[in-house]
Every structure is written in structure tokens, then in C-alpha cells.
Structure 1
Amino acid sequence: MLLTTKFLRPTSDSRAVKRERLSALLEPDGPRRLNLVIAPAGFGKTTLVAQWCSRSSSPAAWLSLDEHDDEPRRFWQYVTGAFEHAGLTGAGELRKQLAHGTDEAFTEAITGLINTLARDGSPWTLVLDDFHFIHEPAIHRQFAYFVDYLPPGVAVTLASRTEPPLPLARWRVRRWTQDLHPGLLAFSEEECRQFFQGTMGLDISEEDVRAICRKTEGWVAAMQLSALSGKGNPAGTKQIDLDERHISDYVLSEVLDQQPAELADFLLETACCPRLCASLCDSIRSSGDSQEILEKLLSQNLFLIPLDTRNEWFRYHDLFRDALLLRIRHSQPEKAAQLWQRTVDWLLAHGHVQEGIAQIVRHADWHWLARVLAEHGNNLIHGGYHLPVLNWLDALPQDLVTDNPQLQMLRIWGLFFANRVDTLAPLLSSLEDLLDRHVADSHPDAEGALGLQSEISLMRSYLARTRSDDKSATDLTRQVLKEIDHTRIPLKSVTYYGLGLDYYGKGELTEAEDALQSAVRYGQVEQKPSTVLSSGGLLAWIQYNRSDIDLALDTCTDIRQWVDRHYADPSQPRLISCWQNSTLCEIHRERDHPQLAATHLQPLLEHVERGTEAGQHVVIQYVRGHLAFSEGKLQEAIEALEDAAQTARKRREQILFEPPASTALLARCYLAAGFPDKARGCLDSRVDAEFTNPLNREQNRISEARVMVALDQPERAQEILSALLQPAERNAHNRHLVEILLVYGEALALQGRTEESRQMLTRAISRAADAGFMRLLAEESPHLRSLLLSLPALNAPGSWNSGVRTMLLKQEEMAGTAAATRATETVRSPERSAKTPETLPEPLSQRELEVLALIHQGHANKEIASRMSVAPATVKAHIRNLYGKLGVGRRTEALARARQLGLLDN
């Protein structure tokens, strides 16, 4: 049962200041989807939003959150309950669905709520008050999905003490958000007058109103202190000096100097802390009463801002903290330095390493930074913080890095995880030379330097993979495994991940699964979320392709839960695995849940737009193309798969593994679009020798058999498939096995061998049913789909049979429409290249053409800036102009348009 009072909007206090200028900012405007009202307690957030809602004519659902709502099921029940209470038709059924659904049902229910809002068509507003009570990462992810797909005209207003960990940067770029921060919430002079005279009931002069407003900068908490400080004065407030003192002087004189000595000392002694908790304060003060004092400060509203709802973590208002720091550094400089050092020591010792490093960098203590990075840098990198580590290494004076093998190895690991593999070879050679000198000179750390050799061997094994030198990669990896127990840095997880890649590349899937399971297990022991996520993602990908769909889904769920428990930093982007998200997209696409599939694909597309590692780029575009193909969006599928194939060909030396065979799926798209010759040409451009992974070679051969069937050469198709059948069965390539049986059955049917065809197709149906494959059957040719519908095995009772029949019949119904659409669809045909290319109204400049070429090569903005020797801001400006001239909004669209105009080679 839901508490209905949580759905009641607070009534407006007649004495409250009317904030008309802020209410206007909350009004709907263009593409906006989110109003974000962020400020500490006492800034009037709830009052403002309630006033705005009371004057709005649009339907509004209100929900006041509390600490009990930080659980996904309860949160979404209350959200749908708020809409139900406000009169949204259909919200009640969604709420009931949430009461008994599984975790996966949350996304479906959220999608249902979005669809319900779209059907209703009204400009709904959802207000979530006190959103700072929500800490659960799962809710934040689900809420981001909700906002991403809101129908036009529907918006959300969040009131919170802290900025939530949502994809706000992306939404701001799209002009989806309106931010009301403390600066905007600051009172104007007129609002100050209304506050003192109307709300506080004080009779003060116009001169004093202006003075207080200026000194407090419209901060209502400071105004309250000003009003209270004037009690007993006949004029209602004491006279304020009107000179140009900074607000910190005012805070110190009006607050600090009037506190008891115990509180004043505490404020000064803890000002060096970027955040405060009782344990930290006790440690640096050598006392045990900090929690009691913090609660006293909080109860007195002494510029202390809670960072959670449990009164564990706090921070001072920035202006107040600056004033305190100024006082103690001026009056007690030695004590201030000692307190700061104790603070950093505590942060490092209690796992707040990044925060400790930030303090060290701010004070430019480079020798201390070098020691901390040597000790903690490896764990930070393997925890997903490779980019900050690279920035900190760049901040160090060069001489501190040049003669330090640990820091040089740290830079190599950082560049490796940043996918800048092409820069590593010279750095490894330089490091090996340095280690040789240390050993020859009997350097004090010669023994530790020798321990780095295993890391160098491991890194060289990954470089060997980029050169397709599988033997060297495997030999180096096994060498590391022999020496691994003698190294100081835990490397087992990364080593087993490399071994898993080797086995996967050779098509030895059982061995690959064993190695990847070891990588996951050791990664959890070593606390390396990035390695756990990558290893578990590839493991799930293999399980999916072996038709263990449920097992693959369980693997993804278990890995995600472990990573979220051990990597929960809202200030950092969420760790994403290309393999895992791709697997989840494939699973939900196969089970005919395209919206869920798109949910897992979306974060990967953002990586593509920013410029990701070449291998990941190919995998993402392959999965993107497969989803578009399943949905019948052939043009979108072709563009994504052409991009994947070109990237795989042009940037092969930068890819650590052989990505999926994009050309095989591209050929299927051309077949579906009615261009069998183009499909054949696409496959003819690849030869089997190019594939080192048997899975990819197999996939390409199956597509070749499909083309032979389409070209009315069933005997040739049968010959191809006969050679594939036994190896696929022997190696448990079960997904491919189903495809082989299906196409084989169609080839036999075309030869008039009806009974043999039925037997082959019945075997395929049996295998598909065991694995739970569905979309796989619906993606086959219309002729093959009709053969399947006539099979007695498919017409037997059962939920899977019924689901597949329904899907196939739906495909049949859509076939007529698809044929008509295909005639006008802008799929690239062989004749199109003969046409005169279009011209742009304004041609691209030489610099814009250079940028376009580098984007085509897959480089990120930062890499483009480096190659062109210009600032990143200049690159962004060129890209902005480029998009404008091409009439596009993102990288993939720009490349497709450029190829269409003949600006790039196909």
C-alpha cells in the first residue's frame, strides 16, 4: 500500500517570497525534459517548485521522496502511483505490474509508463522532491532511461540538495535541462526586502536591505544570520559597515567570532578537509567528540551542508571554508600545514585516494604525488581511473618520471586502458633500457625493477595480438603465468584475460571460457573492476554464441552487480564493457525485446561518437547493424556494417582481437534489400585466410551459402554447408549450427528434396528451441520462413513454438509493405555510384577536410588535436562547422553523408 500523502503538493505559504523570475525559468521550453533545482537545505527549493506548480495549467504528478524510497521497486511504484493519483489513465495497471515483476520487468514497466504518457498526449510534469535521498545506482540508471525516452511535452522537475549522478552533461548539450543552482536561487534586492519585511516581520531601512543583500550576495542563510544578529536593536537590525569587505570577512565577524571557543577551534581545525566526517575530524584533531560537534553545527545551520541523509558526510559552504582557511593560515601557518598533511594521510589510508591526490596536486607537492602514484596508481588504473592517472603523471616534473620505472610502467598501463596501443612500443623499449641500467648499476630498487619484467612481457603479449602474432602472444602470456607469483603487483586477472582472448581468437571456446572465468575470479580478488567487466563480458559473449543464452544473461547480471558494489563513484562515469553491453543487446534482440536491446546499445553509441578503440568500434557497429537489420531498418544497418567493415580493414593493426565478421551480416542486409550481386561482391572482397577466428570464417561461409541460394545455386550452397556442419557441431558453435541447418534445409527444398529438407529444418527447430533462439528464425528469407511455418514440429503446442509462429506470421504480413518500401528506400545500389555526386552549398575548407579524414580513421577529438597540432577547442569548432555544412548531428551521419558526396572512399 502506498502512502498517498507523499503525492500531495505542499500548499504555498502566503508569507513566502514570490519568485516570479525563477518560476518563469521552470516553464516548458522547446526540447526541455528536466528542471534541476539544486541547492543546500534552506534555499527554498520546495517552496519555489510548489509555487510554480500551483500556477501551472498543465497536469502535474508530485512525489515527496524519503530515505525509504531508495529501492528500485518501491521508487517506481511511487512514481507510477504519483501519476495514478494525478489522473493518468493506465498508471494503476503499471503500478500493479511492478508489484510482482522481476528486475528486468522494471525496464519494461518504465517503457510502459513512457508509452502511456505518449498515448495520453498531455504536457505532464513530474515533480520529485528531495531526490538527494536516492543513492541506488540502479535507480539512477533506470531514471536516465526514463528521461532519455520521454515523449515530447513531458518534463521532470527534480529538487535535490546534491546534483544526482545522471548523464547531465549529455542532456545539457541537447538543451534538455534547465539548471537552477544556488547562484540563481540567491535573492534579488527586491526579494530581500520582501523576505525581511514580509517573511521575517522586521522593520528595516532600505539602506540596510541593500547592504545586507550586497554583503550576503542574496544567500538566504546569511540573511537569516544578519537578521538574527540585529535582535535587540531598536531598528530591527544592527548597523552594517558599508565598506567593500569580502563576504568572508562578514561571515567570520558575524559567525566565527561569536562562537564558543570549542566550536571556533573545531571550525578552524577542520577547514582543511574538502569533506568532513567524524572519523576524519577525530583523526586530525586527536579527539573523539567530532560527531557530537558536527551535529551541533548542523542543528545551528552554521554553513555545514550534509552530503547524505545519514549525517555522516558534510562539507562547509565554499565561501565559509575559504574564510576559515584564510584565518588559520594567517594566524597559525605551521598548525595549518600539519592539519592538511594529516587530512591527506587519512584520505589515502581510508580508500579516498583520488580525493587525497587532488589535495596533493592542489598544493603542488610533486614528490609526495610521485610516491602516492607509485603505491596506488596501479589499483586506480585497474579500477577504471586510467585517465585521471595519466593527467596526474603529466602534472609531475619530467625528471621525477624519467628515472622511475614504476611511474613509467604506470603510464604504459594508463595508455593501454585508454586504447592508445600504438604509442606503447617505444615506451616499453625505453623502460627496458632503464631497468637494464638499474640492474647494472646495482640500483637500490633493482630487485623491484626486475619484478616489472612480467608486466612488460604481459604488455608485449597484447601488442603481439595487434599484429596477429598469436604464437608470440600466447608464449609471452604463459611466461607471465609461470612468473606471476613472484611479482609484487597482482597480474593474474589481466593475464588470464589475455589468455582468454588468445583461445577465443583460435575458436577454442571451452578453453576460452575457462581462462575468462579465472580472469573474473582473480579480478574480484585483486579488486580490478575493469578487468572483471571485460573478462565477464567476453565470457557472456561466448556463452551466447554457444546458445547458452540464460547462462550468458546470468553472467552479465552477476558481473554487473559485483562491479557496482565495488565501483560506486557518482562523480565518475559508469564503467561500461563493450563485450557485456553488446551481449545484452544481442540477447534482448534475439528474444524480440528491441527496446531493451536499444537500452544496452545506447551507452556504446556514445563511445562511438566520441571515438573509441578500433576493435570496440567494430563490435559496437556490428551489434548496432544487427539490431537495425532485425527491425527491418536496412539502410541504417548497411551504414553501420559498412563502417564496421572499413574500420576493421583500415585499423587492423590497432585491434587486440578479431572482431565479428561484419561483411557476413552486411551481405545478409544486401540480400534482404534485393541486391544479391552486391551481397556476393561484399563477401568476395574477403578471403578465408583473412580470418584467424574459426567463428568468423564460419559466419562468412554461411552468408556465402545464403547468397548461393538467392542466386539459385542450391547445389553450391549445399556443398559449402556440408563442410561446415560437422565442425560446428563438434565445436559447439550452436548458434551457427542452427543457421547451417536452416539454410541447408532451404537449399534442399530448392532442389525438390522435400523430405530431406523437412528433416533438416526439424533439426534446426529442435536446436533453436533448446537454446531459446527466436529472432534468428524470423531473419531468414521469406521462402525459408514459409517452409518453417509448414513444419509439424513448429506447429506443436508450446509457448516457444507459439511465439515463433506469431513472429513468422507477422513477418509474412509485413512482407508486402516491405517490398513496396524497398522500391523507394535509399539503399545504396551499384548504379548509384554512376550518378553525378551532389555538391554542398558551401564547400569544406582544407582544415575541415583534414578533420573529416581523421574522424574517418576513428580518432577521438584529443588525438585529432594532437595530430593537427591545434587546441582541442579548435577541433571542436572545425567539427561544428563540418556538421553544419553537411547538415548532420553526429560522427556516423557525417561519414555517411561524406561518402555519399564522394568526399571519402567507400
Structure 2
Amino acid sequence: MQLTTKFLRPTSDPRAVKRERLSALLEPDSPRRLNLVIAPAGFGKTTLVAQWCSRSSSPTAWLSLDEHDDEPRRFWQYVTGAFEHAGLTGAAELRKQLAHSNDEAFTEAITGLINTLARDGSPWVLVLDDFHFIHDPAIHRQFAYFVDYLSPGVTVTLASRTEPPLPLARWRVRRWIQDIHPGLLAFSEDECRQFFQDTMGLEISEEDVRAICRKTEGWVAAMQLSALSGKGSSGGTKQIDLDERHISDYVLSEVLDQQPAELADFLLETACCPRLCASLCDSIRSSDDSQEILEKLLSQNLFLIPLDTRNEWFRYHDLFRDALLLRIRHRQPEKAERLWQGTVDWLLGHGHVQEGIAQIVHHEDWHWLARVLAEHGNNLIHGGYHLPVLNWLDALPRNLVTDNPQLQMLRIWGLFFANRVDSLAPLLTSLEDLLDRHVADSHPDAEGALGLQSEISLMRSYLARTRSDDKSATDLTRQVLKEIDHTRIPLKSVTYYGLGLDYYGKGELAEAEDALQSAVRYGQVEQKPSTVLSSGGLLAWIQYNRGDIDLALDTCTDIRQWVDRHYADPSQPRLISCWQNSTLCEIHRERDHPELAATHLQPLLEHVERGTEAGQHVVIQYVRGHLAFSEGKLQEAIEALEDAAQTARKRRDQILFEPPASTALLARCYLASGYPDKARACLDARVDVEYTNPLNLEQNRISEARVLVALGQPERAQEILSALLQPAERNAHNRHLVEILLVYGEALALQDRKEESQQMLTRAITRATEAGFMRLLAEESPYLRSLLLSLPALNAPGSWNSSVRAMLLKQEDRAGTTTVATEVSPERSPQTPETLPEPLSQRELEVLALIHQGHANKEIASRMSVAPATVKAHIRNLYGKLGVGRRTEALARARELGLLDN
């Protein structure tokens, strides 16, 4: 049972200052999704938001959070409960679903809430008050997903004492956030007057109002100090000129100079800390009483802002901290420097490396930065922070880098992870020359520098893979493995990942799995989350394609949990792996959960839009095309797969591994669209020597057999499948084995060999049942689906059988009628206007005419006064109705139909 009072909006105090200018900022405004009201206690956050809600006409769901809500299931139950209390249709069912959901289904439930809001279409407002009580990283990640995919018109308002660890920087770039921070919450002169007279009940002159407003910069906490100290009621308050960049001298002197010596010393000694905790303060002060002092400062509201709800981490208000720093640096410069150095040492020693480096860069202590990067840079790069490392290296004076082999190697790794592999070869040569000189000159670090030779060999092995020089890549990798135990550099995880890529490229799946499991194990020991994710993701991809779907899902879950447990930082973009997300998308697609599959695909699409490594681009577009194919969105699938195939051809030298065979799946899309000749041309354009991975070669050969079946040549298809059958079974290529058996069964049926066909299809059903494949069966030809539906093995009792039968029948309903083999023809017959399945809309006809005039998409959008995305949607629908894939085909088909003049 839920506490309904948590859903009640607080009643506005009639004495409270009306903040009309801030309420106006909170009003919904495209493309905004989030109002962020952040300020310490006592800044009037709740009052402001409640005032705004009371005048808003939008339906509002209000939730007052507390410390008990810091648990994912309870949090999301209360969020859906708030919507239910506010009258959102469907929210009650979602809340009940959450009560029985496991962790894996949370994303699906949140997706359900997003979809429910989208279907409702109302301009909903969700207010979460006291969001600072929420510090569970899982909730922050889930909430970020919720905001990312909200439909337009829905606005979330967070009121919090601290800034939540969400991807705020990314959202601000997209103009999704309206920030209401203490600077905006500062009272105007009129508001100051209302505060003292109405809220505080003090009689105060206009002169005093102006003086205090100037001295406190409208900061209500400082005004409270003035009022409580009796200064505000006196007409003798001094006039002080204020520097807008710092807190007023009045507040600083009244606070700092009037504190006991112990507190004043503490404030000055800890001002060098960007954040404060008791351990850090004790370390730099050589004391053990810092926690007690911090809590005392907090209780006195002395400009100390808590960063959590456990009173462990704090920060000073920036303006107050700046004033303290000016004071100690002016009066005790040597002590200030010593305290700052102690702070950075503590940050580096307690895992806050980036924060420590930021302090060093700010002070421009370049020699110290060089030493820190040499020690910590490798782990930062493998933790996903390669771009900051490259920026820090660029900030160093050139002479500190040119004669430092470690820093040069660090730059090479940073460029490698940034996918800038074209620039690596000359840098490696330069580094080798430097190492040779160090050895020849008996440089003091010659022995340590020699250890970098293994890193150079490892990097050259990856570059060899981009040239498809598998022998060199394997030889270099094995050389590194022999030398690795004699070096001081943790490289085993990256080396075994390279070895796994080599085995995978050769189709030696068992060996690849062993190497990748070693890469995961060593990556965890070496604290390299990027390598763990990539290795575990490729391992799961292999397990899935081999047929161990449950094992692949377990691998993904275990790896994700390890990374989130050790490297979760909700304020930074979530570290993801192309291999892992692609595998999860394929798993959920295969299990007929397309919405869940899309949630794992979506983060990858952002990488495609921004530009990513060529091999990853191909994998993502392949998976994207496969999901669209499964959902019957054939034109969308064709566009993604054509892009994947083209990228794989043009950028082959930049790809470290052989990506999936996009042309094989593209040919299936053409077959499903009724164009077997296009499918054959697509496969004929691909040469077998392009593939060294037997899995990819196998995939293409199976597609060739499908095309031959569609063209009425089952005997030739059978020849291909016979050659594939035993190797696939021997090498445990179980996914391909099921496909081979299915298409083989269809080829036999077309030769009127019914009994043999049934035996082959029964073998396929047995294998698919063992592996848990489902969508795979529904994606075959209509005739093959009809054969499966009549198969005794599939009509036996069992949950898997019933699920697959339902899926096959659903697929038949989508197609309209069950199609038999004789209905498949080499070419789709030309359509006439009378036989067009769905007529073109007026807007689609307008787009068609503008295409005919030769206009690009942007020009069409301008002429029609719509967004480019809307034009793309019209074109996609246009292509689908005409059954074409390109502009030239669309124009030709339109002329055939009489929609355009010849």
C-alpha cells in the first residue's frame, strides 16, 4: 500500500514571497524536458514549484520523496503511483506490473510508462520533490533513460538540495534543461522587502532593504543571518561595494571573523578542497575531528552544501570558497600551497584521479601532471577516459612529452581508443627510435622503457588486423603473451582480447571463448572496464550465435553488473560496448521482445549519428537492420544493411575484425520484398575471398540457397546446403545449423520429397528448441512457415511449441494469406494504380513531385515548411507503398503507375 500523502502538493503559504519571474521560467517550452531547481535547504525550492503548479493548467503528478524511496522498485512504483493518483489512464496496471517485475524487466516497465504518456498525449508535468534523497546509481541510470525517451510535451521538475548525477551536460547541449540555481533564486530588491516585512515580520526601512540586498546579493540564507543577528532591523548598516564574483565582504566578515578560532581555521584550511569529507580534511589538517566540525558548520548553515544525504561529502558555495581562498593565499601563501598539495595527494591516493588532475591542470603544475599521467593514464584510458587524457597530454609543454616514452605510448593508446588509427604507425616508429636511443645511451629508465616494447608489439598486432594480416597479428600477439610476465605493464586483458578476435576471425569459436574469458578475468584484475565490456560482449555474441542464448544473456548481465559496481558514474556517459549491446538486442529480438531489443539498440544509434569506428558502425547497422527485418519494416532494414555493406567495403582497412555479413541479411530483405533477382545480384557482387571468418562465409552461402529456392532451383540449393551441413554441426555453429536444416527442408519439399523434408525440418525444430530460437523460424519464407505449421513435431504439447506456433500464425496474419511456393516469382509484376495496395497521401504525392523536380531533402523540407525528419518519414512511407528502395526506382515506378508525367 502506498502513502497517498506523498502525492499531495503542499499548500502555498500566503505569506511566502511570490516568485513570478521564476514561475515563468518553469513553464513548459519546447524542446525542454527537465526543470532543475537546485539549492540548499531554505532556498524556497518546494514553495516555488508548488506556487508554479497551482497556476498551471497542465495535469500534474506530484511526488514528495524521502530516504525510504532510494530503492529502484519502490521509486518507480511511487512515480507510477503519482501518475495514477493524478489520473493517467494505464498507470495502475504499470504499478502492478512493477510489483512483480525482476530487475531485467524494469527497463521494459519504464518503457511502458513512457509509451503510456505518449499515448495519452497530454502535456503532463511530473514533480519530484527532495530528489537529493535518491543516490542509488541504478535509479539514476534508469531515470536518465526515462528522460531520454520522454515524448514531447511531458515536463519533469526536480527539486533537490544537490545536483543529481545525471547526464546533465548532454541534456543542456540539447536545450532540454531549465536550470533554477541559487543565483536565479537570489531575491530581487522587491522580493527582499517582501521577505523581511511579510515572511519574517520585521519592520525595515527602504534604505535597509537596499543595503542588505546589496550586501547579500539577494541570497536568502545570508539575509536570514542578517535578520537573526539583528543587523537587518538596524538603520545603521554600513554600505559596502560588492564584487559580483564573490560573496559580500559583509557576510564573510560577519561569518568568518565572528567564528571561534577553531572553526575559522578549519574554513580557511579546507578552502583548497573542491569537495570535502572528513578523511580528506583530517589528512591535510593532521587531525581527527573534521567530521564533527563539518556537521557543526552544516547545522549553522555556514555556506556548506551537502552532496549526499549521509553527511559524508560536502562543498562550500563557490563564492564563499573563493573568498576563503583569497584570504588564506593573501595572509599565509606558503601554508595555502602546502594544503593544496596535500589535497591533491589525497585525491590521487583515494581514487579521485580525475579530480586531482583537474586541480593540477588549474595550477599549471606541468611536471606533476606528467608524473601523474605516467602513473594513472593507462587505467584512465581503459576506463573510457581517453579523450580527457589526450587533452591533458596536449596541455603539457612539448619537451615533457617528446623525451618521455611512457607519455608517448599513452598518446598512442588514447588515439587508438579514439578510433584515430591512421595516425598510429609513424608514432610507433618514433617511439621505437626513442627507446633505442635510451638503451644506447644507458638512460636511467632504460630498463623500464624496454617494457614498452610489448605495448608496441600489441598495438602493431591491432594495426595488422586492420590490414587483414592475420598471421602477423597472431604472431605479434603470441609474442606479447610470452613477454608479458616479465614486464611491469598490465596488458594481459588487452592481449587476450586480441587473441579472441583472431580466433573469432578464423571461426575457431571454442578457442575464441577461452581467450575472451581470460581477457575478462585479467581485465577485472587490471581494472580495465572497457576491455572487460568489449571482451565480455564479444564472448556473449559468440555464445548467442553458437546457440547458447541463456548463457549469452548471463554473460552480459554479469559483465554489466561488474562494470556498474566498480565504475558507475551517473554524471558521465554510461560506458557501453558495441558487442554487448548488439548481443542483447539480438537476444531480445530473437525472443520476440522488439521493444526491449530497441532499448539496447538506441544508445548505439547515437554513436552511429556522431560517427564511430568503422567496424562498430557495421555491427550496429547490421543489428539495426535485423531488428527492422524481424518487425517487417523491410525498407528501413534495407537502408541500414546497404549502409553496413557499403561501409564494410569502403573502410575495410580501418576495421580491426571482420564484421557480420550484411549482404546475406540484405538478400533476405530483398526476398521478403518480392525481389529475388535483386537478392541474387546483391550476393553476386560479394566475392567469397572477402571473408576469412567461416561464420560469415556460411551465412552468405545459406542466403544463396534461399535465393535459389525462391528462383525455383531447389536442386542447386540442396548442393550448397549439403556442403554446409556437416561443418556447421561439427563446429557447433548451431544458429546456422538450424537455418541450414530449415532451408534444406524447404528445398526437399519443392522436389516433392515430403518425407525427407519432414525429417529435416524435425531436426531443425529439435535444435531450435534446445537453443531457444524463436524469431528465426518466423523469418523464413511463407511456404516454409506453412510447412512448419503442419509439422507434427511443432504441434506437440509444450510452451515453446505453442509460442512458436502463435508467432508463425501472427506472421501469416501480417502477410495477409499463407503463400505457397508456386506463388514466388522471379520478379514482382508491375503494379497499376488500381492494384496499388495503399494509395499515396496528398503529402506523399507532394513529396514525390518535389523529388521529381530534383530537390534534396532539406530543400523539400523548406518548401513544405516542415522538419527534415518529417520529409524522411514521408519518403520512407512513399518507398514502402511503391515497393522501392531509391529515388530513381521511386520515380520510375511512379511513372509506370501514371503518378508522374514521363
TM-score (norm 2): 0.90
Deviation, structure 1 residue 830: 14
How far the C-alpha of 1:678 sits from its partner, in A, is 1.2
Q: Distance in 1 between matches of 2:173 and 2:834?
A: 31
User: Residues of 2 paired with 1:865 and 1:426: CA distance?
Assistant: 46
Instruction: Name the CA shift for 1:802/1:849 in 2 (closer, same or farther; >3 Å).
Output: closer
CA distance in structure 2 between the aligned counterparts of 1:890 and 1:323, rounded to whole angstroms: 65
Q: Deviations over 1:765-793 (max 9, x none)?
A: 11111111111111111111111111111
Q: Is residue 497 of structure 2 the alignment partner of residue 497 of structure 1?
A: yes
SS at match of 1:204: coil
The Cα of 1:821 is off from its aligned counterpart by 17
Q: Give the unaligned 5+ runs of structure 1.
A: none
| 1:851, distance to aligned residue in structure 2 (A) | 26
Residues 445 and 824 of structure 1, relative CA distance in 2, 3 Å threshold: farther
Shift of the 400–243 alpha-carbon distance from structure 1 to 2, 3 Å rule, reads: closer
Question: In 2 relative to 1, CA 838–474 (structure 1 residues): closer, same or farther, beyond 3 Å?
Answer: farther
Query: CA shift at 1:835, angstroms?
Result: 17
Q: Is the 8 A contact 2:635 2:879 kept in 1?
A: no
Structure 1 distance, partners of 2:791, 2:877, is: 57
For the Cα contact (< 8 Å) 1:63–1:82, is it kept in 2? yes
Q: Which residue of 2 aligns with 1:822?
A: 820
Rounded Cα–Cα distance in structure 2 between residues aligned with 1:848 and 1:286: 75
> Do the aligned partners of residues 383 and 905 (structure 1) sit closer, same or farther apart at CA in structure 2, a change above 3 Å counting?
farther
How far residue 529 of structure 1 moved from its aligned partner, in angstroms, is 0.6
Cα shift readout 1:731-773 (whole Å, capped 9, x = no counterpart): 0110111111111111111111111111111111111111111
Residue equivalent to 1:539: 539
CA contact (8 A) 1:537 1:579 kept: yes
CA pair 676-894 structure 1, distance change in 2 beyond 3 A: closer
Judged with a 3 Å threshold, the aligned counterparts in structure 2 of structure 1 residues 327 and 176 are, in CA distance, closer, same or farther, namely closer
TM-superposed CA distance for 1:233, in Å, is 4.9
Instruction: Report how far residue 395 of structure 1 moved.
Output: 0.5
State which drifts further: 649-658 or 752-761. 752-761
Aligned-partner SS, 1:127: strand
Does the 8 A contact of 1:248 with 1:322 survive in 2?
A: no
Provide the C-alpha distance between the structure 1 equivalents of 2:852 and 2:350, rounded to a whole number of angstroms.
45
C-alpha distance in 2 between matches for 1:533 and 1:899? 52
Partner secondary structure for residue 808 of structure 1: helix
Following TM superposition, by how much is the alpha carbon of 1:484 offset from its aligned partner in structure 2, in angstroms? 0.8
Q: Which moved more, 1:754-763 or 1:389-398?
A: 754-763
Q: Structure 2 vs 1, CA of residues 844 and 805 (structure 1 numbering), >3 Å: closer, same or farther? A: closer
Q: Deviations over 1:579-601 (max 9, x none)?
A: 00000000011111111111001
2-structure distance, mates of 1:427, 1:854 = 51
Q: Following the alignment from structure 1 to structure 2, what is the Cα–Cα distance between the partners of residues 868 and 408?
A: 54
Q: For residue 342 of structure 1, report the CA deviation from its aligned partner.
A: 0.8
CA deviation digits over 1:277-316, x for unaligned, max 9?
1111111111111111111110111111111111111111
**Does the 8 Å contact 1:211/1:242 carry over to 2?**
no
Residues 510 and 602 of structure 1: is their aligned pair in 2 closer, same or farther, counting only changes over 3 Å? same
Q: Report deviation, 1:232.
A: 8.3
Distance 2:884 2:176 in 1: 19
For residue 893 of structure 1, report the CA deviation from its aligned partner: 18
Shift of 1:265: 0.8
CA distance in 2 between counterparts of 1:207 and 1:894 reads: 76
Given that residues 390 and 411 in structure 1 are in contact (C-alpha distance below 8 angstroms), is that contact kept between their aligned partners in structure 2? yes
Return the alpha-carbon distance in structure 2 between the equivalents of residues 864 and 421 of structure 1: 38
Q: CA deviation at 1:271?
A: 0.6
Structure 2 partner of 1:893: 889
Using the TM superposition, name which of 117-126 and 709-718 deviates more: 117-126
Distance 2:477 2:411 in 1: 21
Cα pair 1:886 1:897 within 8 Å, conserved: yes
Structure 1 position 92, deviation (Å) = 3.0
Superposed CA deviations along residues 575-631 of structure 1, whole A, max 9, x for unmatched, are: 110000000000011111111111001111111111111111110111111111111
**SS of the counterpart of 1:821?**
coil
Judged with a 3 Å threshold, the aligned counterparts in structure 2 of structure 1 residues 901 and 425 are, in CA distance, closer, same or farther, namely farther
CA drift of 1:874 comes to 26
Q: Structure 1 892/377 Cα, relative in aligned 2: closer, same or farther at 3 Å?
A: farther
Worse overlay, 85-94 or 436-445: 85-94
Give 1:861 shift. Answer: 22
Query: Retained in 2: the 8 A contact 1:203–1:236?
Result: no
Task: Give 1:388 shift.
Answer: 1.0
How big is the shift at 1:568? 2.2
| Alpha-carbon distance, 1:848 to partner | 28
Residues 34-90 of structure 1 show CA distances to partners (whole Å, capped at 9, x for unaligned) of 222222322211111112222333332221222222221111122122223333344
SS in 2 for 1:793: helix
Shift in Å at residue 823 of structure 1?
20
State the Cα deviation string for residues 663-683 of structure 1 (Å, max 9, x = none).
111111111112111111111
Q: CA deviation at 1:822?
A: 19
Q: Give the drift of 1:209.
A: 2.1
The Cα of 1:833 is off from its aligned counterpart by 19
Alpha-carbon deviation of 1:881? 25
Partner of 1:552, secondary structure, is helix
Q: 1:330 to 1:517 in 2, by over 3 A?
A: same
Counterparts in 2 of 1:840 and 1:234: CA distance versus 1, 3 Å: farther
Instruction: Report the CA distance shift for 1:327/1:152 in structure 2 as closer, same or farther (over 3 A).
Output: closer
Q: Is this contact kept in 2: 1:227–1:237, CA < 8 A? A: no
* Structure 2 CA distance for aligned equivalents of residues 390 and 905 of structure 1: 58
Mapped pair 1:811 → 2:840: no
Secondary structure of residue in 1 paired with 2:833: coil
Cα offset for 1:894? 18
What does residue 871 of structure 1 align with?
Answer: 867
Go from structure 1 to structure 2 and tell me whether the alpha carbon gap of 1:757 and 1:802 turns closer, same or farther (over 3 Å shift).
same
SS of equivalent residue, structure 2 residue 797? coil
Q: Match of 1:290?
A: 290
DSSP-derived class of the 1:62 partner: strand
Alpha carbons of structure 1 residues 246 and 797: separation in structure 2 relative to 1, 3 Å: closer
The answer on whether the counterparts of 2:618 and 2:645 sit within 8 Å (CA) in structure 1 is yes
CA spacing shift, 1:423–1:867, aligned 2, 3 Å: farther
Q: Is the 8 A contact 1:39 1:181 kept in 2?
A: yes
Name the CA distance, whole Å, in 2 between partners of 1:627 and 1:420.
30
Change (3 A) 1:249 1:877: farther
- 568 and 849 in structure 1: CA distance in 2 versus 1, 3 angstrom threshold: farther
The verdict on how the C-alpha distance between 1:295 and 1:537 changes in structure 2, with shifts beyond 3 A counting, is: same
Q: Please give the alpha-carbon distance, in whole angstroms, between the structure 2 residues aligned to 1:855 and 1:429.
A: 52
Following superposition, the deviation at residue 869 of structure 1 comes to: 34
Structure 2 segments unaligned to the other structure (5+ residues)? none
Shift of 1:355: 0.8
Instruction: State the shift of 1:260 in Å.
Output: 1.4
Relative to 1, partners in 2 of residues 1:218 and 1:365: Cα closer, same or farther, differing over 3 Å? same
Contact 1:32 1:175 in 2 (8 A): yes
Q: CA deviation at 1:111?
A: 2.7
Aligned to 1:858: 854
Q: Which stretch shifts more, 234-243 or 104-113?
A: 234-243
Q: Deviations over 1:485-525 (max 9, x none)?
A: 11111111111111101000000000000110011111111
2:880 to 860, 868, 884: 884
Partner residue in 2 for 1:380: 380
Name the Cα RMSD after superposition.
Answer: 7.1
Report if the CA contact (8 A) 2:360-2:368 is conserved.
yes
Q: Take 1:844 and 1:182, find their aligned partners in 2: how far apart are those partners?
A: 55
| Aligned equivalents of 1:170, 1:243: Cα separation in 2 | 32
Distance of 2:880 and 2:457 partners within structure 1: 47
Q: Distance in 1 between matches of 2:389 and 2:861?
A: 21
CA 1:642–1:433 in structure 2 vs 1: closer, same or farther (change >3 Å)? same
Distance apart, 1:170 and its partner CA: 4.4
**Sequence identity, in percent?**
93
> Which whole-Å deviations, capped at 9, do the CAs of 1:428-476 have from their partners, x for residues lacking one?
1111101110111111111101111111111111111111111111111
Shift of 1:174: 4.6
Partners of 1:454 and 1:896 in 2: CA distance:
59
Q: CA deviation at 1:900?
A: 19
CA contact 1:204–1:236 (8 Å) conserved in 2: no
